[in-house]
Amino acid sequence: MNDSNSHTNNNLDQLPWIDLYKVFSSEAYAQRVESIPNETLQFAADPDNREFLINSARKSLKQSNTDAIDEGQAEILADLMSVLARMFLQDRAKLKK
């Protein structure tokens, strides 16, 4: 195994998996996700809207964190929003079948 994979595996081993499971399987989490309109998820999932998501993430980060915000944080957050939006849309499509 190369050093990069080893480092990643160590980081993954340190994640609080049981806590993450509890959050993602909670009723409150499910209700929050269900309350997001499909149109919003579709917008976030569309790669053409990445720049808008980055700008939105940057504004949100500036409001919640007065420390210096680096552009990489906004990009990571925007990409994460896009991935989650696609996952939520796929889950909704499966439930409708």
**Would you kindly state where each structural domain of the chain is located, as residue ranges?**
1-35, 37-97
Average pLDDT of the residues in 1-23: 71
CB of 82 closer than 8 Å to CB of 44: yes
The type of residue at 24 is F
User: Is it the case that residue 42 has pLDDT exceeding 90?
Assistant: yes
Q: Is the dihedral of CA 46, 50, 55, 57 positive or negative?
A: positive
| 53 or 30: which leads in pLDDT | 53
